[in-house]
Amino acid sequence: MSLTIQEARQQVAELGKKMLAGGLVAGTWGNISARVPQSDVVVITPSGMDYTKLRPSDIVVLDLTGKVLEGEHKPSSEAPLHLAIYRSRSDVAGVVHTHSEAATAFAVVREPIPPVVEDAAMLVGGAVAVAEYALPGTEELAKNVVTALGNRYAVLMANHGLVGVGRHVEEAFTVCQVVEKAAKIYALARNLGEPQIIPEQDVLTLSQVYRHSYGQPKK
């Protein structure tokens, strides 16, 4: 997926509205970013602005050091977190941070979400680990998240929320949706009995199938 800067800004603005409408955040919390392919340019939601009113021109353009290249607004306070992920993961071109209820409940009790459903296993590549607590917007939090994320595609932030990453920002958004659903299913299943975890080798196979052969072939 190849995007121009303007197309990436448009996409992030639209996903902000979708994130709020889907109940993944409340108010102006949460943040979304996209990396422009084959570049060190990142576009990110501004700090504290109403998602329903976001325009593409409101989305801030940064380089990987955090320098503002374009935009009139202050970038999200979690920009250090997004940029740290991009610097550590060349395969990632989208980062979405949500405060969805079920996933955040696991973050509050600091319990990982195991691979109990196939779509989450495919997208995440294993359990959703919990990053150690640090204050929001800090370099310490960014470091903790990068460490806990490893080579997977989702991570919980202790007492805070969820981060999903992807090969593009739409995939990162889907990761957050699927992890939230998996958290709800896992919590419900524990009330019914003993949830059965998908074996590690099967998780690896599911993830590889999704990464390499899921969907329609590229033309």
What's the pTM value of the predicted model, to 2 decimals?
Answer: 0.94
What pLDDT does residue 129 have? 99
What pLDDT does residue 1 have? 46
Q: Is 180 a catalytic residue?
A: no
What pLDDT does residue 2 have? 65
User: Closest by alpha carbon to 148, among 121, 115, 112, 182?
Assistant: 112
Which homologous superfamily is 5-213 in?
Class II aldolase/adducin N-terminal domain (3.40.225.10)
DSSP class of residue 30 equals -
> Low-confidence residues of the chain, pLDDT below 70?
1-2, 215-219
What pLDDT does residue 215 have? 58
User: Closest by alpha carbon to 159, among 109, 97, 111, 113?
Assistant: 109
Domain boundaries, the chain: 5-213
Residue of 78, 101, 170, 194 marked catalytic: 78
